[in-house]
Amino acid sequence: MKKAILVLGDGTTYEGMSIGAEGTTLGEAVFSTCMTGYQEMLTDPSFAGQLLTLTYPLIGNYGVAPQDFESKKVQVAGFIIKELCEVPSNWRVAGTLQHFLEGHGVLGIQGIDTRALTKHLRTRGVMMGAISTELNRDQLLKKITDTPNYGSIDFVKLVSADKPYVWKGGARGGKCRFNIALIDLGVKYNIMRSAASLGCKVTVYPCDTPAEDILRANPDGVVVSPGPGDPNVLDYALDTVKGLIGKKPIMGICLGHQLLGRAFGSKVFKLKFGHRGGNQPVKDLINGRVYITSQNHGYAVDPDGLKGSGAAVSQINLNDNTVEGLVHTELPIFSIQYHPEASPGPMDSRFLFSKFFEMIEARSK
State yes or no: is 34 an active-site residue: no
Cβ-based neighbour number of residue 121 at 10 Å: 21
Given the residues 275, 297, 328, 339, the one annotated as active site = 339
State yes or no: is 297 an active-site residue: no
Given the residues 200, 254, 275, 324, the one annotated as active site = 254
Q: What is the 3-state secondary structure (H, E, C) of the chain?
A: CCEEEEEECCCCEEEEEEEEECCEEEEEEEEECCCCCHHHHHCCHHHECEEEEECCCEECCCCECHHHCCCCCCCECEEECCEECCCCCCCCCCECHHHHHHHCCCEEEECCCHHHHHHHHHHHCCEEEEEECCCCHHHHHHHHHHCCCHHHCCCHHHHCCCCCEECCCCCHHHCCCEEEEEECCCCCHHHHHHHHHCCEEEEEECCCCCHHHHHHCCCCEEEECCCCCCHHHCHHHHHHHHHHCCCCCEEEECHHHHHHHHHCCCCEEEEEEEEEEEEEEEEECCCCCEEEEEEEEEEEECHHHHCCCCEEEEEEECCCCCEEEEEECCCCEEEECCCCCCCCCCCCCCHHHHHHHHHHHHHHC
Residue 184 to residues 62, 83, 336, Cα–Cα distance (Å)? 30, 34, 16
State yes or no: is 254 an active-site residue: yes
Could you give the residue numbers annotated as active site? 254, 339, 341
